[in-house]
Amino acid sequence: MIQHKFKLKKEDMVEVITGKDKGKRGRILKILRDKDRLVIEGINVVKKAKKRRNQQDRGGIVEIEAAIHSSNVMILCKKCGPTRIGFKQDGDVKVRVCRKCGEAL
């Protein structure tokens, strides 16, 4: 599988554009680069059976966030909402910018 260079980073705010959670917004918790997927806070919540590990640990059914494909989300600009990411050279530093308004992300 080809590894793509990610424009998104951990802690970015994103909006889901397709699927059962369409329109929901959340913060990126984890990036799975090899699978091209993201784990986003409060998005794609699934129930999972957890085994009891010790006396204090509670087993049972827990809800966790499952990974979602990176193509199903768009980064949020503070000014104009969901947008695509562009890049600008700021001296010798490459900066991510909003494609709609040019604001640094």
Asked whether residue 92 is assigned to any structural domain, the reply reads yes
Asked whether residue 105 is assigned to any structural domain, the reply reads no
Asked whether residue 3 is assigned to any structural domain, the reply reads no
Total domains in the chain come to 1
Residues 31, 6 contacting (CB under 8 angstroms): yes
pTM, two decimals, is 0.80
Asked whether residue 1 is assigned to any structural domain, the reply reads no
Asked whether residue 103 is assigned to any structural domain, the reply reads no
Q: Which domain holds residue 94?
A: 13-98
What is the mean pLDDT, run by run of 10 residues, along the chain of 105 residues? 75 92 93 92 93 86 92 90 88 88 84
Asked whether residue 104 is assigned to any structural domain, the reply reads no
Asked whether residue 64 is assigned to any structural domain, the reply reads yes
Asked whether residue 4 is assigned to any structural domain, the reply reads no
CATH of the domain at 83: 2.30.30.30
Q: What is the pLDDT of residue 17?
A: 93
